Amino acid sequence: MSPAIALDLPANELPCPREVRIWIDQLLVAIEALDLQAVEAMIEMTKQHHLQDLVPNRVGLWRLRNTNPLRRNYQRRELSWLELKSLVCLTCAMASQMNTICGYWSRPSSRCRNKNRSLRTDSKPKL
């Protein structure tokens, strides 16, 4: 089955730029900082988006991310455009999922309405 990211690839054979490899890895680090189970979720999303050929497991994901030149264990290989697009697809899917969760928790009125609490800030808590 073909990947879900069948987008137009660049006609030339130039590798992915250094800055792009840095940015995508930093986005994935930020997602992992917000969600400790993000790596497992990304591996599950590879199955949903039919990306197992590009990201087969945790080690494959780690190898793709280690093309970031700022990492200590930097692999001196280039990231292909298809590999980059698979990482972008995973990043967007994770960000979308996290945006839904964070959006719910950032609205105090919905949380309080669900728990039948008021939003009064002028009252002091009972000790």
| Per-residue pLDDT tens over the stretch 85-117 | 999 999 999 988 888 777 766 666 555 555 555
What are the sequence ranges of the domains in the chain?
18-115
Report angle CA 107, 108, 111 to the nearest 5 degrees.
95
Verdict on whether the full-model pTM lies above 0.95 = no
Nearest-angstrom CA–CA distance, 109 and 53: 44
37 vs 110 pLDDT, higher one: 37
Judging by beta carbons within 10 Å of its beta carbon (0-12, 13-18, 19+), is residue 41 exposed, middle or buried?
middle
- Close Cβ partners of 64 (under 8 Å, ≥ 6 residues apart): 54, 55, 79, 83, 86, 87
Report d(CA 119, CA 112) in Å as an integer: 7
pLDDT at 2 over 50: no
Degrees, nearest 5: CA angle 63-64-65: 90
Give pLDDT, residue 46: 92
